[in-house]
Amino acid sequence: MTEVYFVRHAEPNYNNHDDLTRELSLKGLEDRTLVTQFLNDKNIDIVLSSPYKRAIDTIKEFADSHDLQIELIQDFRERRVDSGWIEDFQAFSKKQWEDFEYKLSDGENLREVQDRNIAALKQNLERYKGKNIVVGSHGTALSTIINYFDPSFGYDDFERIKTLMPWVVRFTFENGECVEIKEYNLFLDR
């Protein structure tokens, strides 16, 4: 059995519009302690992350406290929306969830995000079979992974979790098949 804990990053600094370097807010820095506390007894063997700073920083306290290195996986990154900042993000997101092929001229559609993240997940399931894995992730990327294994997870679910930062989803795999998905709201599940 392989367990993968995807950790959606803590609250970022929304004043920084650069996806790669967007750091955690002061609240986000405080809330990452919830991630560390949650993961402490999960016997984690491997720590992977999106290359984006907010994802890395959310799991770094845990990794450091357990002397685990964080391996950056490019394909676990968040979706590229466009080259500019989107003011009406809710309308954009809804359109993408209604049509997985919809994208702006300089962005990715949800199918591309899902394909990239699932390929990275499958590769790492093979590499780390039988291990307990943490992945620093993002709301949209993680939502498309859930949707891959549970197609009923859609826009309404995405809206439900959009303010949950950090948020953890555990996927349990047996012989490469996903046998369970469990969500954890770290603000309630203490």
Q: What is the pLDDT of residues 32-86, one digit of tens each?
A: 999 999 999 999 999 999 999 999 999 999 999 999 999 999 999 998 887 777 7
Q: How far apart are CA 61 and CA 12, in angstroms?
A: 16
Task: Note whether residue 16 is domain-resident.
Answer: yes
CB-count burial class (<10 Å; 0-12, 13-18, 19+) for 104: middle
Q: How far apart are CA 180 and CA 173, in angstroms?
A: 7
Do the beta carbons of residue 188 and residue 80 sit within 8 Å?
no
Task: Note whether residue 7 is domain-resident.
Answer: yes
pLDDT at 189 over 80: no
Peptide bond into 151 cis (omega under 30): no
What does the pLDDT average to over 97-124?
A: 95
CATH number where 91 lies: 3.40.50.1240
pLDDT at 180 over 60: yes
Of the candidates 27, 55, 147, the one whose C-alpha atom is nearest the C-alpha of residue 96 is 147
Task: Note whether residue 86 is domain-resident.
Answer: yes
Number of domains in the chain: 1
Average pLDDT value over all residues in the chain: 94
pTM of the model: 0.94
Give residue 131's pLDDT band: very low, low, confident or very high (50, 70, 90).
very high
What does the pLDDT average to over 112-141?
A: 97
Q: Tell me, what's the pLDDT at 176?
A: 86
Residue 60 phi, psi dihedral angles, 5° rounding? -65, -40
Q: How far apart are CA 50 and CA 57, in angstroms?
A: 10
Angstrom CA distances, 181 to 51, 66, 107, 178, stand at: 24, 25, 29, 8
Domain extent for 19: 2-131+142-184
Give residue 87's pLDDT band: very low, low, confident or very high (50, 70, 90).
confident
Task: Note whether residue 189 is domain-resident.
Answer: no
Query: Which of the two residues, 93 and 58, has the higher pLDDT score?
Result: 58
pLDDT at 190 over 70: no
Task: Note whether residue 69 is domain-resident.
Answer: yes
Task: Note whether residue 190 is domain-resident.
Answer: no
Of the candidates 146, 142, 132, the one whose C-alpha atom is nearest the C-alpha of residue 166 is 142
pLDDT (tens digit per residue) in 3-44 = 999 999 999 998 888 888 999 999 999 999 999 999 999 999
Task: Note whether residue 29 is domain-resident.
Answer: yes
Task: Note whether residue 137 is domain-resident.
Answer: no
Alpha helices (runs of H) in 89-183, residue ranges in sequence order: 89-98, 110-127, 139-149, 155-161
